[in-house]
């Protein structure tokens, strides 16, 4: 019997993973399949109403690392060409490009250590640059702030191993240095590799949230402890600040104690814009209580709308906050070119860079199970996931709700963390953004495909199309990130 190409493709197993050119072909073929599925089930339906919409908020989602959220991105011929991610010039260019594109902020994701659970090792994480190397995120914040006038910077800093006193001092300093343009993505470290690296026993989700609640309570006290007029700076009398207006904190909690005054004077935003991405019921409650903006990934419009309603309900019934008082920023990957055909070709090329083994290492890291122990054709809907639930759902629905195999899940996820994709001409992309806005998106977290090229493309092609339709600011009206984030246009 002769072995046909299709039979050969079906033969891939964990013991016989496609490598090199074979892996490229597997990923490219799957890209074509996903494009076909998307064409049969378009997000933008004919006869859509033209209505006036508010402005969208845009965030550029990246890491202080080589790869960000697309495994294999560094292989893209347009990725970091002439740039080094480890040097300031690159961040200056990235920041100015996003500001040119009228983004609200650059948003820096982070983990504290390389994933280590695929084959119980971090070898493939290192080998395939699976979010590795990743440098410390806050170090680039002042560079970005100094290179721009308006762009905000969201920074992910984990509460897991830092006392709230140190965290508040760090963030107040950054808020001063950016002149009020910093946001904090509050995370508690969901991956065991992070706890291993810090030599600690990982605590469970509910304990992590309980601890984070107390963490925030102390942070609020510290940030608000310098009253607005506490700094007098009177050279004649020699009095710099009024101690009656700089309140000493005396906090005794289950997890933290703190006695002392906050070391930074009141910063332009007082506290950073509070950002969150928890997706479990407990995570949603945390966001409904504390967050000013939330980052969520939803695979389709039904789930986007469901999420909007759920978050509004939690805000109102549990915390007496107005509906829509938390900005919902939904993940999106845009692949844009002057024509649809060029954009599709670009998408296939981008997908073809994914190394399947690296993709498996990534889903193992984010979702918990060691996927090397599963068959490539096992249906992921049958596998229990202890890791980031919210992101796993984006995979489950990526093929319209049909079964998704381990191999497919890895490839879907590796190209942009499972975010929905808008592929096409500028008009195609903005049409799709409008549909998502009608389903609850206040804005978009744009995941990179190859930097800085993808953000240059966005600023050159998508920004003008959005502005033409009245969907994006033409100037920044606020001084701080919070003011710009709250400005939805007239």
Applying CB under 6 A, the residues found at the interface with ligand FMN are 109-111, 156, 158, 187-190, 205, 277-280, 282-283, 295, 297, 331, 388-391
Q: Which residue is nearest to ligand FMN (CB)?
A: 283
In DSSP terms, 334 is beta-bridged to 422
- Residue (294 or 343) nearer to ligand FMN, CB: 294
What sign results for the dihedral spanned by CA atoms 261, 263, 265, 271? negative
Minimum CB separation of residue 282 from ligand FMN in Å reads 6
- Residue (78 or 282) nearer to ligand FMN, CB: 282
d(CA 473, CA 466): 9
Minimum CB separation of residue 152 from ligand FMN in Å reads 16
The CA dihedral of 253, 255, 258, 264, to the nearest 10 degrees, is -120
Minimum CB separation of residue 375 from ligand FMN in Å reads 27
Minimum CB separation of residue 274 from ligand FMN in Å reads 12
- Residue (28 or 208) nearer to ligand FMN, CB: 208
- Residue (158 or 333) nearer to ligand FMN, CB: 158
In this structure, how many other beta carbons lie within 10 angstroms of the beta carbon of residue 320?
7
- Residue (283 or 416) nearer to ligand FMN, CB: 283
- Residue (297 or 461) nearer to ligand FMN, CB: 297
Minimum CB separation of residue 107 from ligand FMN in Å reads 9
What sign results for the dihedral spanned by CA atoms 351, 353, 357, 358? negative
In DSSP terms, 108 is beta-bridged to 62, 155
Establish how many alpha carbons lie within 13 A of residue 22's alpha carbon, considering only the half-sphere containing its beta carbon.
12
Minimum CB separation of residue 273 from ligand FMN in Å reads 16
- 169 neighbors 271 (Cβ within 8 angstroms): no
Minimum CB separation of residue 129 from ligand FMN in Å reads 17
- 65 neighbors 135 (Cβ within 8 angstroms): yes
d(CA 160, CA 423): 38
- Residue (226 or 295) nearer to ligand FMN, CB: 295
d(CA 488, CA 144): 24
Which helix (H) or strand (E) segment holds residue 434: the answer is: helix 426-438
């Amino acid at each position: 019997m002769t072995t046909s190409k299709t039979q050969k493709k079906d033969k891939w197993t964990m013991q016989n993973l496609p490598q090199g050119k074979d892996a490229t072909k597997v990923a490219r073929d799957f890209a074509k399949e996903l494009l076909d599925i998307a064409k049969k089930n378009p997000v933008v339906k004919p006869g859509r109403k033209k209505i006036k919409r508010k402005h969208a908020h845009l965030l550029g989602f990246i890491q202080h690392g080589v790869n960000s959220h697309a495994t294999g991105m560094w292989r893209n011929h347009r990725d970091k060409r002439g740039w080094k991610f480890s040097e300031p010039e690159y961040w200056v260019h990235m920041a100015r490009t996003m500001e040119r594109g009228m983004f609200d902020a650059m948003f820096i994701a982070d983990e504290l250590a390389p994933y280590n659970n695929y084959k119980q090792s971090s070898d493939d994480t290192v080998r395939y640059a699976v979010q590795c190397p990743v440098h410390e995120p806050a170090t680039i914040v002042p560079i970005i702030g100094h290179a721009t006038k308006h762009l905000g910077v969201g920074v992910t800093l984990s509460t897991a191993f830092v006392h709230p006193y140190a965290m508040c001092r760090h963030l107040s300093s950054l808020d001063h240095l950016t002149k009020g343009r910093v946001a904090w993505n509050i995370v508690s470290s969901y991956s065991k590799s992070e706890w291993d690296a810090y030599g600690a026993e990982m605590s469970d989700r509910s304990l992590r949230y309980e601890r984070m609640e107390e963490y925030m309570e102390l942070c609020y006290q510290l940030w608000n402890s310098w009253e607005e007029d506490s700094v007098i700076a009177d050279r004649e009398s020699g009095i710099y600040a009024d101690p009656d207006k700089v309140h000493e904190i005396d906090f005794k909690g289950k997890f933290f104690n703190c006695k002392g005054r906050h070391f930074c004077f009141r910063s332009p935003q007082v506290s950073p814009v509070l950002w969150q991405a928890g997706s479990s019921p407990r995570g949603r409650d945390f966001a409904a209580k504390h967050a000013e903006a939330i980052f969520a990934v939803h695979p389709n419009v039904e789930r986007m709308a469901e999420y909007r309603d759920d978050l509004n309900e939690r805000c109102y019934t549990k915390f007496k906050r107005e509906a829509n008082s938390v900005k919902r920023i939904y993940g999106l990957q845009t692949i844009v070119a002057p024509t649809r055909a060029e954009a599709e070709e670009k998408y296939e090329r981008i997908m073809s860079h994914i190394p399947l083994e690296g993709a498996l290492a990534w889903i193992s890291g984010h979702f918990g199970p060691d996927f090397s122990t599963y068959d490539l054709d096992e249906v992921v809907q049958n596998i229990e996931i202890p890791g980031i639930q919210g992101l796993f759902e984006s995979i489950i629905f990526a093929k319209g709700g049909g079964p998704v195999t381990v191999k497919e899940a890895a490839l879907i996820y590796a190209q942009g963390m499972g975010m929905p994709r808008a592929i096409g001409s500028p008009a195609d992309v903005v049409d799709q953004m409008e549909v998502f806005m009608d389903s609850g998106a206040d804005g978009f977290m744009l995941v990179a495909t190859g930097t800085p090229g993808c953000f240059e493309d966005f600023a050159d092609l998508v920004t003008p199309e959005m502005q033409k339709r009245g969907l994006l600011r033409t100037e920044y009206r606020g001084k701080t990130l919070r003011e710009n984030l709250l400005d939805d246009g007239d």
